[in-house]
């Protein structure tokens, strides 16, 4: 039982996320093999009185429902209406989130089954089918967990084009008295991040949920996890009496795709996640695909020639010829594949990228292949041959240097669901 001076706050991050590994000056190359470049991701313990809940999807996008904010609002309305004794709040939230994602997968599967076999008349139809298939594959294997650490190299960013705009939603379990006459509810306020970016926001109270709406017209990059905490504390300290202490439970609904540093290591190629390896030295292994081949694949996909082999498709998948320096390791678990048929020359192999996971980062990786209720696997591993070529990196079909284009995340998918497949959000160079 919390004392009268404690307020338990649950916050839901509804922005965008990206993870940027740090390069280390180590490259390996065996005779006749492409070079292998090394990177690290590290983690820090969570601050005191902070809990973090997030899906273990490191290397991938997060696909949420187009109406996730509505779901979060209704979740809390329903929770308040439950008779006493109420179930554990955190357990209730995680259970409802899982049910919500499962229901979304089932609705997408029904849509695809209904439309299966019908000719796609437009490029939009093909892309919409593809995005839905990707969402089915990735949502069917999402595992929400509590984490003891946060990834130091993960940052958040705001896309001003998202509708509704990016936000942090939060709920005070003890429902303390709030001064709704404060200017913070009437006029925009601002917060300066550790990287000196100024975030403009306005707070809305939609009982029982508070919503911090971000208003920056040009977007904001490189928002740190600690910035998220400090924004929340800044708002809480304004609207709730100073005598209260706050315990934060943060639910992270953002992507965790990797964007590698823009240097000669990845010049002219796109990184593609090939495997995740657990054990004493956990790591992610990426292959690379040349830009010209990636562009050709984009054109093929846009032309509809690969539509039948997308995620969740009922039709057989063609084989994919890939190569990674670590492909012979039996301990690795292969990530899901787009099912493209790739034919490339073995004369020009491209590099592998090895990302070492340090200090608890492995908590954010799903090392298991998952199966849905119908026993459909999340795609088999490919046959690896001579060239480091593209595999689907989990959310966006290709991981490029600008986040803007690479993330097929909640907001991007929201556009796909409501209107057309439009451009993604804004990001600086070397970000995902």
Give me the mean pLDDT over the 73-77 stretch. Answer: 97
What count of residues does the chain have? 432
pLDDT for position 428: 37
176, 239 contact by CB (below 8 A):
no
pLDDT for position 285: 94
Phi, psi (deg, nearest 5) at residue 182: -60, 150
Q: With respect to residue 59, please indicate whether it lies within any of the assigned structural domains.
A: yes
4 falls in which pLDDT band (50, 70, 90)? low
Q: With respect to residue 259, please indicate whether it lies within any of the assigned structural domains.
A: no
Residues 342 and 228 reside in one and the same domain: no
Task: Name 288's Cβ contacts closer than 8 Å, sequence gap at least 6.
Answer: 266, 269, 270, 271, 272, 350, 351, 352, 353, 388
Give me the mean pLDDT over the 181-200 stretch. Answer: 90
User: Is pLDDT above 80 for 287?
Assistant: yes
Highest mean pLDDT out of 145-154, 233-242, 318-327: 145-154
pLDDT for position 186: 86
Average pLDDT, the chain: 74
307 falls in which pLDDT band (50, 70, 90)? very low
Integer Cα distance of 184 and 203 in angstroms: 6
User: Is pLDDT above 80 for 388?
Assistant: no
pLDDT for position 295: 75
pLDDT for position 97: 95
Give me the mean pLDDT over the 195-210 stretch. Answer: 94
User: Is pLDDT above 90 for 213?
Assistant: yes
Give me the mean pLDDT over the 97-103 stretch. Answer: 93
pTM, 2 dp: 0.76
pLDDT for position 340: 37
User: Is pLDDT above 50 for 408?
Assistant: no
Residue where one domain finishes, among candidates 189, 217, 252: 252
Q: With respect to residue 418, please indicate whether it lies within any of the assigned structural domains.
A: no
Residues 66 and 105 reside in one and the same domain: yes
Burial code (b: 16+ CB inside 10 Å, e: under 16) for 51-74 equals bbbbbbbbbbbbbbbebbbebbbe
Residues 382 and 235 reside in one and the same domain: no
**Rg (the chain; Cα; Å):** 22
Task: Name 173's Cβ contacts closer than 8 Å, sequence gap at least 6.
Answer: 7, 8, 9, 10, 89
Residues 295 and 236 reside in one and the same domain: no
348 falls in which pLDDT band (50, 70, 90)? low
Residues 324 and 212 reside in one and the same domain: no
User: Is pLDDT above 90 for 76?
Assistant: yes
Highest mean pLDDT out of 128-137, 344-353, 362-371: 128-137
391 falls in which pLDDT band (50, 70, 90)? very low
**Cβ atoms within 10 Å, residue 197:** 17
Q: Which domain holds residue 129?
A: 7-252
Q: With respect to residue 66, please indicate whether it lies within any of the assigned structural domains.
A: yes
Residues 92 and 227 reside in one and the same domain: yes
Residues 192 and 276 reside in one and the same domain: no
Q: How far is CA 411 from the centre of its chain?
A: 11
How many domains, in total, are found in the chain? 2
Give me the mean pLDDT over the 85-102 stretch. Answer: 95
Give me the mean pLDDT over the 160-174 stretch. Answer: 91
Closest CA to 267 of 353, 325, 393, 340: 353
Residues 206 and 279 reside in one and the same domain: no
Task: Name 86's Cβ contacts closer than 8 Å, sequence gap at least 6.
Answer: 79, 92
| pLDDT tens digits, one per residue of 230-275 | 999 999 988 887 778 899 999 999 999 999 998 888 888 899 898 8
Highest mean pLDDT out of 241-245, 319-323, 384-388: 241-245
361, 20 contact by CB (below 8 A):
no
Give me the mean pLDDT over the 376-401 stretch. Answer: 30
Q: With respect to residue 413, please indicate whether it lies within any of the assigned structural domains.
A: no
Give me the mean pLDDT over the 397-422 stretch. Answer: 31
Residue where one domain finishes, among candidates 199, 230, 252: 252
pLDDT for position 30: 72
Residues 148 and 204 reside in one and the same domain: yes
User: Is pLDDT above 60 for 214?
Assistant: yes
Q: With respect to residue 84, please indicate whether it lies within any of the assigned structural domains.
A: yes
Give me the mean pLDDT over the 38-67 stretch. Answer: 93
Q: With respect to residue 396, please indicate whether it lies within any of the assigned structural domains.
A: yes
Q: Three-state secondary structure along the chain?
A: CCCCCEEEEEEEEECEEEECCEEEEEEECCCCCCCEEEEEECEEECCCCEEEEEECCCCCCCCCCCCHHHHHHHHHHHHHHCCCCCCCHHHHHHHHHHHHHHHHHHHHHHHHHHHCCCCCCCHHHHHHHHHHHHHHHHHCCCCEEEECEEECCEEEEECCCCCCCCEEEEEECCCCCCCCCCHHHCCCEEEECCCCCEEEEEEEEECCEEEEEECCCCCEEEECHHHHHHHHHHHHHHHCCCCCEEEEEEEECCCCCECCCCCHHHCCEEEEEEEEECCCCCEEEEEEEEHHHHHHHHHHHHCCCCHHHCCCCCCCCCCCEECCCCCCCCCCEECCCCCCCCCCCCCCCCCEEEEEECCCHHHHCCCCCCECCCCCECCCCCEECCCCCCCCCCCCCCCCCCHHHHCCCHHHHHHHHHCCCCCCCCCCCCCC
pLDDT for position 3: 52
Residues 186 and 328 reside in one and the same domain: no
User: Is pLDDT above 60 for 347?
Assistant: no
pLDDT-above-70 percentage for the chain:
70
169 falls in which pLDDT band (50, 70, 90)? very high
Integer Cα distance of 72 and 88 in angstroms: 16
- Least-confidence region, from 9-18, 32-41, 91-100, 376-385: 376-385
Residues 234 and 345 reside in one and the same domain: no
Determine the straight-line distance between the first and last CA of the chain, rounded to whole angstroms: 42
Integer Cα distance of 289 and 271 in angstroms: 7
Residues 73 and 204 reside in one and the same domain: yes
pLDDT for position 229: 97
pLDDT for position 301: 56
pLDDT-above-90 percentage for the chain:
44
Closest CA to 171 of 100, 101, 248: 248
């Amino acid at each position: 039982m919390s004392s009268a001076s404690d307020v338990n706050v649950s916050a839901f991050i509804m922005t965008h996320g990206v993870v940027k590994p740090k390069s280390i000056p180590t490259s390996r190359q065996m005779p006749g093999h492409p070079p292998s470049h090394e990177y690290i991701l590290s983690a820090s313990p969570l601050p005191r009185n902070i809990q973090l809940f997030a899906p273990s999807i490191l290397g991938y996008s997060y696909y949420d429902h187009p109406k996730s904010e509505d779901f979060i609002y209704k979740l809390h309305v329903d929770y308040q209406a439950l008779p006493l004794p109420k179930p554990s709040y955190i357990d209730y939230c995680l259970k409802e989130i899982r049910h919500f994602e499962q229901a979304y997968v089932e609705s997408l599967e029904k849509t695809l089954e209904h439309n299966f076999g019908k000719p796609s008349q437009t490029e939009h139809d093909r892309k919409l089918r593809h995005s839905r298939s990707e969402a089915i594959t990735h949502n069917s294997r999402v595992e929400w967990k509590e984490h003891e650490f946060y990834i130091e190299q993960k940052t958040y960013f705001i896309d001003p084009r998202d509708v509704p705009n990016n936000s942090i939603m939060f709920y005070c379990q003890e429902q303390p008295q709030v001064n709704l006459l404060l200017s913070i509810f009437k006029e925009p306020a601002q917060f300066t991040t550790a990287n000196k970016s100024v975030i403009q926001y306005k707070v809305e109270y939609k009982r029982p949920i508070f919503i911090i709406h971000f208003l920056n017209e040009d977007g904001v990059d490189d928002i740190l996890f600690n910035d998220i905490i400090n924004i929340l504390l800044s708002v809480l300290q304004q609207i709730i009496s100073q005598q209260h202490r706050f315990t934060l439970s943060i639910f992270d609904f953002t992507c965790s795709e990797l964007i590698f540093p823009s240097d000669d290591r990845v010049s002219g190629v796109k990184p593609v996640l090939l495997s995740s390896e657990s054990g004493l030295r956990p790591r992610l292994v990426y292959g690379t695909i040349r830009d010209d081949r990636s562009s050709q694949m984009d054109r093929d996909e846009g032309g509809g020639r690969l539509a039948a082999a997308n995620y969740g498709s009922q039709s057989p998948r063609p084989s994919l010829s890939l190569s990674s320096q670590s492909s012979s390791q039996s301990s690795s678990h292969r990530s899901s594949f787009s099912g493209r048929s790739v034919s490339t020359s073995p004369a020009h192999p491209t590099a592998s990228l090895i990302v070492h996971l340090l200090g608890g980062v492995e908590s954010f990786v799903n090392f298991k292949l998952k199966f849905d209720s119908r026993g459909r696997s999340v795609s088999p591993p490919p046959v690896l041959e001579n060239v480091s070529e593209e595999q689907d990196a989990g959310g966006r079909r290709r991981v490029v240097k600008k986040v803007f284009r690479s993330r097929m995340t909640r907001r991007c998918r929201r556009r796909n669901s409501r209107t057309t497949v439009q451009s993604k959000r804004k990001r600086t160079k070397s970000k995902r």
